Amino acid sequence: MVKMTQNFTVWCLKFHRDLYSPLMFGHVELMTQELYDEYLTWVQTDEGRQYLKGGSKYKEECDE
């Protein structure tokens, strides 16, 4: 299984819900350059930055 960051998870579930499960099970070949570029563009928006460390919607992970 692949471990995803919070901001990538939010982006994936918001814009590409159909890819979330396959990506979680390791089908990273589905993550094309176009999708990656779309994700990077979103992460630079006000909404996307909220989910980065230090953002208002960022949550620390619990590894227990």
Tokens matching residue 57: 């919607």
Output the pLDDT for position 61.
Answer: 73
pLDDT of residue 64: 40
Tens place of pLDDT per residue across the chain (64 aa): 678 889 999 999 999 999 999 999 999 999 999 999 999 999 999 999 999 999 999 998 754 4
pTM: 0.85
Cα 11 from Cα 8, distance rounded (Å) = 5
Of the chain, the end-to-end C-alpha distance in Å amounts to 17
